[in-house]
Amino acid sequence: MQTKTLDNLQEWVDEIALLTKPDKIYWCNGSELESEHINNILIEKKVFTPLKKKPRSFWCTSDPSDVARVEDRTFICSKEESDAGPTNNWMDPDEMKSILEELFDGSMNGRTMYVIPFAMGVVGGRNSKYGVQISDSPYVVASMRIMTRMGEEALKEIRKTHEFVKALHSVGAPLLSGVEDVTWPCNPNKYIVQFPEDKEIWSFGSGYGGNALLGKKCYALRIASYLGWKEGFLAEHMLILKVTSPDKIINYIAAAFPSACGKTNLAMLDPALQGWKVETIGDDIAWLHFGDDGRLYASNPENGFFGVAPGTGWATNPNAMRTIELGNSIFTNVALTDDGDVWWEGMTEEIPTHLTSWKRQSWTSGSSELSSHPNSRFCTPASQCPTIAPEWENPDGVPISAIFFGGRRDSTLPLVFQARNWQHGVFLGATLSSETTAAATGEVGVVRRDPFAMLPFLGYHAGDYFKHWLSLASVTSENNLPKIFYVNWFRKDRNGKFLWPGFSENSRVLKWAIEQVRGETSSRESAIGLIPLPGAIDTENLNISPELMAEVLNVSKSEWENEIPLIHKWFEFIGDKMPLELWDELSFLEENIASM
């Protein structure tokens, strides 16, 4: 457990230096000068290639074996196995610590150990939290500077309170003297380990994304979800949007989607509907706290976007494109153009004739290989986004009136429906499912349950997490709680063609939901929840027939008859901690479907 000595941070840094044996120790202050210095180190090491076409921006490629989060090497080491639950890998914390101590022993030999103080949320914010990452990767320093509020200001807060999460990271590649470094040091033996009760993260072997930028998934989701359980808040895998209607009424919404389901595109939505305005508060993570008025307020703990590059383009997400155009960004595992810019599949309609691929090989259009890895990323400051809402750094967050859950499903789930009440909404979150993508290692296109889009990010037992969500209804009145919706942009027809155009047209679904929140639209009770009545979704100027709308909103008895046993199996997998209220919801659904 973290002790509160006068300088617990210095003690920890000394202890880690003794273990990892770096050549040098450097405390990061977050300044411009420091950033230039770190970037120059990375350029000199040939890790970063400066882009001629974008200011202060860099192209970077990882080791081909280190390209994504490693879920099978991710552990929640709570003291009791029953607190990690069936969805997490678990090991006894003492046993895990002794494995890790052996791996970290001398792991920073020949390298610099960077001490990176950071804030999740604005420094001094009511619900902000702090951490210190120790890392032997300058790439991590450069990325943490974009993704968190890193440096002197965060350190001052930590020195005041002595409260911080210890986030230890090593690429696990000690550099022997006389041996030339590789551009992307890493280790085939990877461990991404959270110790929730100790508020500690130990990450070994990977330099990539969620494995290495420890403020993101490890802290802001896994550790923070555990803290939320104990302290009465929620740490969720959700984007946050501000939606302004033509009559200038503002609604803030949060939405949970599994990895790479178009969340970043939705977070920067250019609405197709005239007079509607959508602004961005966050694209990936939301912390939700009760305000003094009993409503849930969301804040984005991050400072940047770490978006999937392929599929992000001028047609699909022009605001992300405008964000990166301003520079100050790192591009990892995308392709480099001959004139010193970046390119990836889906960026532009026109395909460059020649590129350097993410594998640093010459690439010509028509090649059977992709120029960019499917999980390649842009890392860019949120403040540069043209749609960023002025209140995105509001220290108290923004009041949420609707929560959306969504996944990628070919069938069964209609375009949109609303939960009858909070308990039913928790059922929808708990049964969320999606087809897998490249962000996680494993097969692509396989349907898996992903409760609240938190499957890889839960810091404790899923059953306890569902109970925590249910318990919010006893903290405040149902009226104060956000209304819950389920969306599926990805439903297909019999020929495998998407039924709904998606992207900016999704604003039509947001409009219907916001009108539902305001009690202004029309819906009908169906077996699965409240479904829009014919004509209730605004399809003006959209070339979609009433028949097609009926198909995309259809609740099919036979498809749900197939779905229910899968939900049964999922609930049984969660085991004894599965809340009875959610079993009741399942029985109710079963009865409704049977009587269709």
* Residue number with CB closer to ligand O2Y (209 or 381): 209
- Which residue is it, tokens 């991590």? 140
Residue nearest to Mn ion (CB): 284
Long-range CB contacts for residues 76-79, cutoff 8 Å, separation at least 24: 76/194, 76/196, 76/222, 76/458, 76/459, 76/460, 77/193, 77/194, 77/195, 77/196, 78/195, 78/196, 78/197, 78/226, 78/460, 79/197
User: Binding to ligand O2Y (CB under 6 A): which residues in 391-450?
Assistant: 439
| Least CB distance to ligand O2Y at residue 86 (A) | 21
CB nearer ligand O2Y, residue 76 or residue 273: 76
Asked if residues 191 and 204 have their Cβ atoms less than 8 Å apart, the reply is: yes
Q: Is 184 in the site for ligand O2Y (CB under 6 A)?
A: no
In angstroms, what is the minimal distance from the CB of 269 to Mn ion? 17
Residues 126 and 145: their CA atoms lie apart, in Å, by 22
Nearer to ligand O2Y, 216 or 409 (CB): 216
Query: Residue 87: which of 548, 452, 480 has the closest Cα?
Result: 452
Q: Which stretch binds ligand O2Y (CB under 6 A): 193-201, 203-211, 385-393, 537-545?
A: 203-211
Strand partners, 379: 306, 330
Q: State the residue for tokens 């860099």.
A: 58
If phi over 0 gives left and psi between -120 and 50 gives alpha, with beta otherwise, what is residue 38? alpha
The yes or no reply on residue 236 touching Mn ion (CB under 5 A) is: no
Using CA atoms of 348, 59, 33, 135 in order, give the dihedral in degrees to the nearest 10: 120
Q: How far is the CB of 507 from ligand O2Y (least distance, A)?
A: 22
- Pairing assessment for the beta strands 238-244 and 250-256 based on DSSP bridges: antiparallel
334: which 2 tokens?
């995308």
- CA 93 from centroid of its chain's CA atoms: 26
Pick the closer one to ligand O2Y by CB: 69 or 289. 69
Using an 8 Å Cβ cutoff, are 218 and 199 in contact? no
Please count the other Cβ atoms lying within 10 Å of the Cβ belonging to residue 80.
11
Which segment (9-17, 43-51, 284-292, 311-319) binds Mn ion by CB under 5 A?
Answer: 284-292
Encode burial over 438-462: b for 16+ CB neighbours within 10 A, e otherwise.
Answer: bbbeeeeeeeebbbbbbbbbbbbbb
User: Interface with Mn ion by CB under 5 A: which range of 49-57, 84-92, 124-132, 277-285?
Assistant: 277-285
Minimum Å gap between C-beta 208 and ligand O2Y is 5
Q: Which does 439 bind (CB under 5 to 8 A by kind): Mn ion, ligand O2Y, none?
A: ligand O2Y
Answer yes or no whether residue 210 interacts with ligand O2Y by CB under 6 A: yes
In the bound complex, what is the minimum distance in angstroms from residue 209's beta carbon to ligand O2Y? Answer: 2
- State yes or no: residue 209 binds ligand O2Y (CB under 6 A): yes
The interface partner of residue 69, options being Mn ion, ligand O2Y, none and the CB cut-off 5 to 8 Å by kind, is ligand O2Y
Q: Helix, strand, or coil here: 369?
A: coil
Q: Which of 54, 69, 190, 483 binds ligand O2Y (CB under 6 A)?
A: 69
User: For ligand O2Y, which stretch binds (CB under 6 A), given 204-212, 274-282, 313-321, 576-584?
Assistant: 204-212
Spatial separation of the C-alpha atoms in residues 457 and 455, rounded to whole Å: 6
Query: By beta-carbon distance, which residue lies closest to ligand O2Y?
Result: 209
Instruction: Give, rounded to a whole angstrom, the gap between the first and last alpha carbons of the chain.
Output: 55
Binding segment for Mn ion (CB under 5 A), chosen from 278-286, 380-388, 413-421, 460-468, is: 278-286
| Smallest distance, ligand O2Y to C-beta of residue 283, A | 8
Please say whether the dihedral angle defined by the alpha carbons of residues 515, 259, 210 and 51, taken in this order, is positive or negative: negative
Question: What is the β-pairing status of strands 286-290 and 296-299?
Answer: antiparallel
Write the interaction track for ligand O2Y spanning residues 28-67; mark x where CB under 6 A is met and - where it is not: ----------------------------------------
Note the Cα 231 to chain centre separation in Å.
Answer: 22
* Minimal distance, residue 236 CB to Mn ion, in Å: 11
CB of 237 to Mn ion, least distance (A): 6
Q: Which stretch binds ligand O2Y (CB under 6 A): 87-95, 207-215, 390-398, 414-422?
A: 207-215
Using CB under 6 A as the binding criterion, the count of chain residues that bind ligand O2Y stands at: 11
**Which two structure tokens, joined as six digits, stand for 66?**
């280190």
The one catalytic residue in 218, 261, 379, 385 is: 261
Q: Could you say which residues in the range 213-272 bind ligand O2Y, by CB under 6 A?
A: 259
Binding partner at 375 among ligand O2Y, Mn ion, none, C-beta below 5 to 8 Å by kind: ligand O2Y
Closest CA to 189 of 206, 174, 176, 213: 206
Is the Cβ of residue 284 or residue 585 nearer to Mn ion in the bound state?
284
Q: Is 60 one of the annotated active-site residues of the chain?
A: no
Strands (E), 39-164: 49-50, 58-60, 74-76, 112-120, 129-135, 149-150
306 binding ligand O2Y? (CB under 6 A): yes
CB-count burial class (<10 Å; 0-12, 13-18, 19+) for 3: exposed
Q: Which of 75, 164, 208, 485 binds ligand O2Y (CB under 6 A)?
A: 208
Check binding of 333 to ligand O2Y (CB under 6 A): no
Q: What are phi and psi of 141, to 5 degrees?
A: -60, -50
Per CB under 5 A, the list member of 83, 284, 505, 538 interacting with Mn ion is 284
Instruction: Give the DSSP per-residue string, 291-345.
Output: -TTS-EEEE---SEEEEE-TT-STTT-HHHHHHHHT---EEES-EEETTS-EE-T
Q: Which stretch binds Mn ion (CB under 5 A): 283-291, 294-302, 467-475, 545-553?
A: 283-291
CB of 205 to ligand O2Y, least distance (A): 13
The site partner of 333 among Mn ion, ligand O2Y, none (C-beta below 5 to 8 Å per kind) is none
Other Cβ atoms less than 10 A from the Cβ of 52: the count is: 11
Residue 303 CB, nearest approach to Mn ion (Å)? 15
At residue 502, what is the residue type?
G
226 vs 306, beta carbon nearer ligand O2Y: 306
Q: Does 284 bind ligand O2Y (CB under 6 A)?
A: yes
Contacting positions for ligand O2Y (CB under 6 A): 68-69, 208-211, 259, 284, 306, 375, 439
Contacting positions for Mn ion (CB under 5 A): 284
Which residues are identified as catalytic?
261
